[in-house]
Structure 1
């Protein structure tokens, strides 16, 4: 398998996994996400969601680096 084909398959799998997590695990509504509501203004900062996505992407890129 060529390097480009392997890279595309890994990128596709990564996008699939992220999409699955966002759709079925309701990322973005986790404890630790910051929501501030004042009047008719809402500020939302997905702190825990960002940390989880960062950990997942780090693991995926680590595996990608080990495959080369």
Structure 2
């Protein structure tokens, strides 16, 4: 568990350092993400992005446990 938390912390650190370049990737605006805009109301629900993040994290955890 300690190794996993250290690795996740390092990944967050690297993502923070590379944020100016990562912000250009259309991540979070994938097809399947729900975005509703009306007068005075803005709703965003990242369905596809959430599924993709879950898949990648599950794969990484599975690889680290082997």
Q: Scaled by the length of structure 1, what TM-score is found?
A: 0.66
Q: Which runs of 5+ in 2 are unaligned?
A: none
1:40-60 Cα distance to aligned partner (Å, 9 max, x none): 211000111000000000001
Which has the higher relative contact order, 1 or 2, with Cα contacts under 8 A spaced 6 or more apart? 1
Q: Which runs of 5+ in 1 are unaligned?
A: none
- The two structures, once aligned, show a CA RMSD in angstroms of 2.1
Q: Scaled by the length of structure 2, what TM-score is found?
A: 0.68
Based on CA coordinates, which of the two structures has the bigger radius of gyration? 1
Q: Which runs of 4+ in 1 moved over 2 A?
A: none
2-side partners of 1:36 and 1:25: how far apart?
21
Structure having the higher helix fraction is: 1
2-side partners of 1:49 and 1:62: how far apart?
20
